[in-house]
Amino acid sequence: MTSLTEIDRSQSESYTRWTRNERVQHWLLAVSFILLAVTGFALKYPEAWWAAPFAGLDWLFSLRGILHRIAGAAFVFLGIYHAYYMAATRRGRRLLQAFRPGLQDMRDLGTNLLYNFGLEKHPPKFDHFSYMEKAEYIALIWGGVIMGVSGVMLWFENVTLTYFPVWAIDLLTVVHLYEAWLATLAIVVWHFYYVIFNPDTYPLNTSMVDGRISEKEFRHEYFLEWQKMQQEGHEETEPTKCSENEPV
């Protein structure tokens, strides 16, 4: 069993955590998400200062709608590509496996809380993904599906209304708004904490920039995987190449 984290031969002190493809996916997601959030909340809160570029004039409001739909389409297509990536590539399937939540994650959560409250001596040890990352990924998929489906249904409201009563639009609007709030707050409170404001990480977890994780950080954050790699490392002569773009 080879590891999802790869030894980077050029830099003995660091490992590859995210492939280029995954990093591109992440940043496309980040750009479309932010654009969606700003242009979306500008509709709900047109009088807010940050909504000024998208409110007050008819054409600005139209621009807001166009940008929201472009970003929404990008988000949906990225989601479809991501589903393909996770299902059809070897690395994707292995990542999916690594994201799979289990009882151990609940135990890790308990241990971590006890540890942070000073009731446990050692923090939990994680494999390739911590329970925090797994929770976020699952929330992202869940939220992405809800936002995508409700968004597309609201986009093509005339088609939606062919099959559903008018109040479905009201329901979808509520769902789209509240899920947007949930997603945005989760990104700010959860994601930004772990990749920015976490004292061990601050000012930025750069693994999504260059794809690398240092030996020290690897050992500290993902001890179980690091440990496995140490044992396997002796048996391996060549690092496994990523094959993310080749369907298997």
Partner 1 sequence: MITNHLLAVALLYLSAASWQVTMPVVVYAQDECFECHADPDLTSEDDAGKEISLFVDQEEYLYSIHGDFDCTDCHADVDIEEHPGEPGEGVDCGICHEDVVEPHLLSVHGQSVENGSGDAATCSGCHGKHNILPASDVVSLIHPLNLAATCAQCHADPKIAKKYDISISDPLAAYRESVHGLAVLSEHNFAAANCVSCHGGHSIRSMGDPASPIFWKNVPETCGQCHQDIYKTYTESVHWRAAKKGIRDAPVCTDCHGEHSVKSPDDPESPVHPLRVSDKTCERCHASELITERYGMRESRAETFENSFHGLAVKAGSLKAANCASCHGIHNILPSSDPQSTINPANLEATCGSCHPKTTTNFAQGRIHLTTTSRPGIIVNYVRIAYFWLIVVVIGGMIVHNGVDFIKKSRQQLKQRREA
DSSP 244: T
Alpha carbon separation from 194 to 32, 53, 117, 188 (Å, rounded): 21, 31, 18, 10
Going residue by residue from 92 to 111, which x/- string records binding to partner 1, judged by CB under 8 A?
--------------------
The residue from 12, 199, 203, 241 that contacts partner 1 (CB under 8 A) is 199
> What's the token pair of residue 120?
């446990």
Q: Which residues, 137 to 196, sit near partner 1 by CB under 8 A?
A: 157-159, 161-167, 169-171, 173-175, 178-179, 181-182, 185-186, 189-190, 193
Question: Between residues 31 and 186, which has the closer beta carbon with respect to partner 1?
Answer: 186
Sole residue written with tokens 């002796």: 234
Distance CA 104, CA 182 (A): 26
Distance CA 70, CA 76 (A): 10
Q: How far is the CB of 50 from partner 1 (least distance, A)?
A: 13
- List of residues 6+ apart from 53 with CB closer than 8 A: 42, 60
Number of chain residues interacting with partner 1 (CB under 8 A):
50
Question: Between residues 54 and 226, which has the closer beta carbon with respect to partner 1?
Answer: 54
Question: Between residues 19 and 184, which has the closer beta carbon with respect to partner 1?
Answer: 184
> What's the token pair of residue 142?
């869940």
Alpha carbon separation from 177 to 10, 49, 140, 194, 217 (Å, rounded): 47, 19, 16, 25, 37
Question: Between residues 157 and 210, which has the closer beta carbon with respect to partner 1?
Answer: 157
Distance CA 173, CA 217 (A): 43
The residue from 9, 12, 47, 103 that contacts partner 1 (CB under 8 A) is 47
Q: With binding defined as CB under 8 A, does residue 2 bind partner 1?
A: no
Distance CA 108, CA 124 (A): 5
Question: Between residues 73 and 109, which has the closer beta carbon with respect to partner 1?
Answer: 109
User: Interface with partner 1 by CB under 8 A: which residues?
Assistant: 42-44, 46-47, 51, 54-58, 60-62, 64, 112-113, 115-118, 157-159, 161-167, 169-171, 173-175, 178-179, 181-182, 185-186, 189-190, 193, 197-200
